[in-house]
Amino acid sequence: MSDNQLRLVWIYPDLLSTYGDQGNALVVERRARQRGLDVARLDVRSDQPIPTSGDIYLIGGGEDRPQRLAAERLRRDGHLQRAVENGAIVFSVCAGYQILGHEFINDLGQREPGLGLLDVMSTRGEGERCVGDVLGDIDPRLGLPPLTGFENHQGVTHLGPTARAFAQVTMGRGNGTGDGTEGAYNGTVFGTYMHGPVLARNPQIADLLLKLALDVNALPPIDDRWYEALRDERIAAAQQPA
Task: Name the residues that contact ligand GLN, by CB under 6 A.
Answer: 61-62, 64, 67, 94-95, 152-155
CB of 28 to ligand GLN, least distance (A): 19
Q: Is 79 a catalytic residue?
A: no
Q: Which of 79, 102, 153, 195 is catalytic?
A: 195
Q: Please indicate if the annotation marks 124 as binding a ligand.
A: no
Tell me whether residue 192 or residue 202 sits nearer to ligand GLN (CB atom): 192
Complex with ligand GLN: residue 128 or 223, whichever CB lies closer: 128
Minimal distance in Å, beta carbon 68 to ligand GLN?
9
CB of 126 to ligand GLN, least distance (A): 13
Q: How far does CA 3 lie from the centroid of its chain?
A: 26
Residue 235: partners with Cβ closer than 8 Å, 6 or more residues away: 135, 146, 148
Which residue, 118 or 210, has its beta carbon nearer to ligand GLN? 118
By beta-carbon proximity to ligand GLN, the closer residue of 28 and 93 is: 93
Active site residue 102: no
Three-state secondary structure call for residue 37:
coil
CB burial of 44-81 (b: ≥16 within 10 Å; e: otherwise) equals bebeeebebebbbbbbbbbebebbbbbbebbbebebbb
* Short-list 191, 102, 96, 89, CA closest to 139: 191
Q: Closest separation between CB of residue 166 and ligand GLN, Å?
A: 16
Host H or E run for residue 214:
helix 203-214
Within its chain, how far is the Cα of 222 from the centroid? 22
User: Which amino acid appears at position 133 of this protein?
Assistant: D
Q: Catalytic pick from 79, 94, 102, 153?
A: 94
The angle subtended at Cα 193 by Cα 188 and Cα 194, nearest 5°, is 95
Binding site listing for substrate: 129
Binding site listing: 129
Give the active site residues: 94, 195
